[in-house]
Amino acid sequence: MILSLLILIPIVGAIVIAFVPRDQDNMIKWLAVGITALALLVSLPLYFNFQDGVSGYQFEEIRPWIPALNIGYHVGIDGLSLFLVLLTTFLTLISVISSWTAITDGLKEYMIFMLLLEAAVIGVFVSLDLFLYYLFWEASLIPMALLIGKWGGARRIYAAVKFIIYTMAGSTLMLVAALVLYVNAGTSDLPTLVSTLNLSQNLQIILFFAFALAFSVKVPLFPLHTWLPTAHTEAPTAGSIMLAGVLLKMGTYSYLRFAIPLFPDAVAYWSPMLVTLAIIGILYGALVALVQDDVKKLVAYSSVAHMGFIVLGTFSGGQQGMSGAVLQMVNHGLSTGMLFFLVGVLYEQRHTRLFSEYGGIWVKVPIFGTYFLLAVFSSVGLPGLNGFVGEFVILLGTFSVNPIAAALGTFGIVLAAWYL
């Protein structure tokens, strides 16, 4: 029941805010903070009651949804999704707080979309039915696009439309592949599909491509990344926090949750290409970030590089690399979320995102400078900080399988230290 409650809390909260008079800005803000704080508090028992070492899913809920078609409401979490749910509830609260003074026009609708986005993302991370998962996957697109298109920068409409086109193009193929699975198995329940599905290798290769394309757009994996810098540059601060912190993780999470378990025979076929694209993304993202003066664009291209690391760990061929990928999903969400939060604070004060205009900040506000430096070092992967652990485990796991890929990935870390 707790997982359904986590999805319902922001939805009910959005409905409550919808009935608040438009001129009651303070009430809307406090309601949004209270609702997201409640969701965070409700998510904490997932961590404290989670049983390590227990195989299978925990906190499962299985109910009929469309019985005539054998489609059910099935949610649950394991070690992969647990921390992503916690990350979502935490970053949504931070995003709402970051909007306290930044959003003045259309505050009511803004907070409604933030809450609906939280519900959709949590739904993605806990869904264990293909069609339920797809419903939440598509539902996350709408509020994110509206947040960019309504409260973004000068090119916000272009950024929102580009985001929609890229995401929809990928998810359409995923829906077709999901329907093929359903027709073959007679069910859309993920655990049942994984345990009973028996597809030919050629069909697995085709279906893996359809799923992986949708996930790679969301990551985004080179060369499907071009929507991300535009979206980050134009999105409001909270939109960037949610986009980098949790929405990108929907792609890498879905590789591990759906693509790899459902199509094991296709993984070996597609892994070399995905590892190659991940390495290109790591190096390309780092090199382009080197020449950026706009801090949001810099962090956006650094995200392309960091997400490339996660894809590298996922498909490097070892369990250790996958473990590092899961760690890095959470660590990247925290460090990049913190960077975008601090950039938003700077923008409110200076009304610019250009590094060349940020001179003297350390002297004037040393505490802010300390936090910013901490976020940068975490993003770079400095030993002793959270960003180091995931990248180190990924490289360690990759080195045992593909030393050349590990060496190129290490060079990407060196470049990251340079541009940040």
Tell me the domain boundaries of the chain.
Answer: 2-419
Distance CA 342, CA 26 (A): 23
Give the DSSP letter of residue 104.
Answer: -
* Beta strand spans in 78-201 (E): none
User: Which string of b and e fits 245-276 if b means at least 16 CB within 10 Å?
Assistant: bbbbbbbbbbbbbbbbbbbeebbeebbeebbe
What amino acid occupies position 337?
Answer: G
Distance CA 50, CA 79 (A): 9
Distance CA 28, CA 361 (A): 33
Q: What are phi and psi of 224, to 5 degrees?
A: -95, 20
Average confidence score pLDDT of the chain: 87
DSSP states of 80-103: HHHHHHHHHHHHHHHHHHHTTTT-
Residue 127 three-state SS: strand
Structure tokens at 119: 């519900």
Cα angle 29, 34, 38; round to 5: 150
Structure tokens at 388: 């180091």
Q: Could you tell me which of 242, 215, 313, 240 has the C-alpha nearest to residue 87? A: 242
Indicate the pLDDT class of residue 13, thresholds 50, 70 and 90: very high
Give the DSSP letter of residue 55.
Answer: -
Distance CA 240, CA 124 (A): 19
Distance CA 107, CA 89 (A): 20
Mean pLDDT of 81-91: 95
pLDDT digits (tens, 9 = 90+) for 199-244: 889 999 999 999 999 999 998 898 888 888 888 888 888 888 998 8
What amino acid occupies position 5?
Answer: L
pLDDT above 90 for 369: no
Share of the chain above pLDDT 90, in %: 44
The two counts, helices (H) then strands (E), for the chain are 19, 2
Indicate the pLDDT class of residue 363, thresholds 50, 70 and 90: low
Q: What are phi and psi of 71, to 5 degrees?
A: -110, 125
Helix, strand, coil percentages, rounded to 5, for the chain: 80, 5, 15
User: Strands 71-77 and 58-66: what pairing?
Assistant: antiparallel
pLDDT digits (tens, 9 = 90+) for 234-288: 888 888 899 888 999 999 999 999 999 999 999 989 999 999 999 999 888 888 8
Mean pLDDT of 304-327: 86
Q: Could you tell me which of 26, 110, 57, 91 has the C-alpha nearest to residue 245? A: 91
pLDDT above 70 for 365: no
Indicate the pLDDT class of residue 111, thresholds 50, 70 and 90: very high
- Determine contact, residues 69/183, Cβ cutoff 8 Å: no
pLDDT above 80 for 372: no
Name the residue with higher pLDDT: 251 or 344: 251
Mean pLDDT of 345-356: 68
Q: What are phi and psi of 403, to 5 degrees?
A: -60, -35
Distance CA 269, CA 207 (A): 12
Distance CA 253, CA 52 (A): 19
What's the predicted TM-score (pTM) here? 0.91
